[in-house]
């Protein structure tokens, strides 16, 4: 599971954007935070996110995010830690 947490800034506070990737803990029977990525699209808003479908023969899980910065980012989750590739639109 992946979520976006964001808070707009004001005079006394800078804006925050976090991409959070969660994993299911079978022992606790709940979601636990696996990874937090600060400002995945800089200060631009994340407009969408989606996991890749489960396809035979494809190793790894991918998460794609888009943002108001005009970029599409692909995050490959391996060993519990995401890595990033980026494409401009």
What pLDDT is recorded for position 11? 83
| Residue 67, phi then psi, degrees to nearest 5 | -145, 165
Tell whether the model's pLDDT for residue 49 goes beyond 60.
yes
For residues 14-24, give the mean pLDDT.
90
| Cα(41)–Cα(34) distance, integer angstroms | 19
Domain with 74, as residue range(s), is 2-88
Record the pTM. 0.75
How many structural domains is the chain composed of?
A: 1
Give the Å distances, CA to CA, from 55 to 58, 60, 71, 77: 6, 10, 25, 15
The confidence band for 66, taking pLDDT boundaries of 50, 70 and 90, is very high
């Amino acid at each position: 599971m992946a979520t976006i947490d964001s808070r707009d800034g004001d005079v006394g506070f800078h804006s925050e954007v976090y991409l959070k990737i969660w994993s299911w803990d079978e022992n606790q029977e709940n979601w636990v935070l696996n990874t937090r990525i600060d400002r995945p699209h800089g200060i631009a808003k994340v407009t969408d996110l989606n996991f890749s479908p489960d396809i035979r023969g494809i190793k790894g899980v991918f998460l794609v995010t888009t943002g108001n910065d005009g970029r599409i980012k692909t995050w490959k989750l391996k060993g519990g830690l995401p890595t990033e590739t980026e494409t401009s639109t």
